[in-house]
Structures are given as structure tokens and as C-alpha cells.
Structure 1
Amino acid sequence: MLVNPGDVTTMTFDWGSIKWFVTPSSVPGAGSTLGEVIVNPGKGHARHNHPGAEEVIYVISGEAAQMVDDGKPFRIGEGDAVHIPKGVWHSTYNATWRPLRLIVTYTPGGEEKALEAAPDLRLLAAGAIPEWSQA
């Protein structure tokens, strides 16, 4: 099944945006989740965990400070991959002036549903272009 970025909705938040390309609820038979995440300059994901799934983060471009298991943050950059076991606390912060582009997977899929409860979520229709403004 081909999934084109222009054919899926975009989740936007104060820190950036996400397009989920493969999820158990959108692709029949899918057992995992895969999406692209953009973290805007000077923004990040607050400390959180995924009790029911492991996560893999792959950096397409940019760099960030990554924290895993409440350890000391370390630098991640283009081509790096980070594995986060189930239930482990983690955060990602883009302290640079460039957008951070990530591929994120959850195994098993479904953890992306938790983001639907985020107070700053705005859901854009397929084909809509997110706007970012520096506050």
C-alpha cells in the first residue's frame, strides 16, 4: 500500500508537526506505526514515555539533545538512530536554528493515539500546509 504525505492528516503542536504514514488504525493489517516528525528550532518534546511500545527515532536531518531513561542528554544528528525501550522516559530538544526531521516508529503500533489528547494539538486536513511562527 502506497502512502503519500499529501494524502494524510498533519498533527501540529506548539513544538512542531507529525505525519503518521502507517498506523494500525489507518493501514489494514499494520502492527507498527511509522511517521515523520518535525521539531521546530528552539522547541522539543517534553519528557514522556510510551508504556505499551518501544520507539525508534531516526534522524533524517538536523541535530538535537536526546535524553533517554533520565540520563544525561546526548547529541543526535543526521543518520543517527535511537532505540527507546517500552516505558522508558525520554525527551528530544532542538537547540539549533534549523528544523529537526525524524522518522519515528512504535512497536507495537498505536501509541500515536495518546497524542490526540495533547492540549496544543491542531489537526490539519490532508494537503493542508502547517504554519510555524516564532513567538
Structure 2
Amino acid sequence: MSRFTVISAAQVPPNRRRGGELRVVLGPATTGATTGFLGVLRLDPGEHIAEHYHPYSEEFLYVTGGELVVRLDGEHLTVRAGEGVLVPKEVRHRVWNESGEPAEAVFHLCPLAPRPELGHVDTEPLPAAHEPALQVEAG
């Protein structure tokens, strides 16, 4: 038996707290990672991830399919499949899909916050369809 773990995105329940579909594939909860986490994001046309920032972590966002609009401290960038963008610590960011096709991306955050609840600071209301008390913190 291997001491290494292979995780499929399909094994991880989606987190929809901030909008879209986020799955933390490799992280503390799935692999015992101690320095950061990696996940996948899927946004259908018209979906978004609510604006937030990370006080402790940089976020690397790499689009693998479709295109996303990323707002970084008010500046709008279009990021297409095969392109990536770095979101520095403490930079407010919002991601959305204004195309007519689904968009997918891989994201990685590091270093980890001292405690999970300190990892994200929301700066706009979360999507109304989600009850915050029922959500699990991730991504």
C-alpha cells in the first residue's frame, strides 16, 4: 500500500458558499497538506465567486477551459484557457463567467492561514441561494 494519496475532484463535495462550484482537491482535509491547497473551480455562464481577499495567502488561478473575468482591486482582466493570473495577498478579487460557455480553472493558495476561518475575508454579500450556516469553509 502506498503512503501517497491520489484524490479525484469527483471525490470532493462541491463548496458553493461563494458561488459557482469549488472543490479543494489537495489540502489539509484531503491529504494532510500543511503549506497550502489546490482545487478546481467551475462556473457556468452568469455565475460568479463573490469578492473576497486572503490576508495570509497568494492565490494562483489558471484557466483550463473557457474564459473568466477576474477583478483585482477594481481592475478587470479576461483570463482565457491556457492563461493564469496571480492574486497577491490582501488583494480583493471577484471571478465571474460572462461567456456563453462553462469555464473551469485550477487554483492554488499558499501559505495557509494560521486557522481556516482566517483564510478568507468576504467583501460582498454571498450568493443568496446559499445558507452560510450550512456551508463548509474551503477555497
Same fold (TM over 0.5): yes
For 1:49 and 1:8, how far apart are their aligned partners in 2? 23
Q: CA deviation at 1:13?
A: 4.6
Partner of 1:106: 109
Count of aligned pairs: 122
Opposite residue 96 of structure 1, the aligned amino acid is: S
Any gaps of 5 or more consecutive residues in structure 2?
none
Q: 1:46 aligns with which of 46, 50, 75?
A: 50
SS at match of 2:55: coil
One-letter code aligned to 1:32 = G
With normalisation by structure 1, the TM-score equals 0.76
User: Does the 8 Å CA contact 2:7/2:30 hold for their aligned counterparts?
Assistant: no
User: TM-score scaled by structure 2?
Assistant: 0.74
Instruction: Name the residue aligned to 1:23.
Output: 27
- Where 1:12 maps in the other structure, the secondary structure is coil
Match of 1:5 among 1, 4, 9: 9
1:42 positional shift: 0.8
CA deviations on 1:38-77 (whole Å, 9 max, x unpaired) are: 1121121222111111101000011122111222x12110
For residues 28 and 57 of structure 1, the distance between their equivalents in structure 2, rounded to whole angstroms, comes to: 22
The amino acid of 1:105's aligned partner reads H
* Identity across matched positions, percent: 22
For 1:29 and 1:74, the matched residues in 2 are separated by: 31
Q: In 2 relative to 1, CA 99–106 (structure 1 residues): closer, same or farther, beyond 3 Å?
A: same
Alignment of 1:1-135 (within 5 A): 1-13=5-17, 15-71=19-75, 73-109=76-112, 120=130
The CA RMSD over aligned residues, in Å, is: 2.7
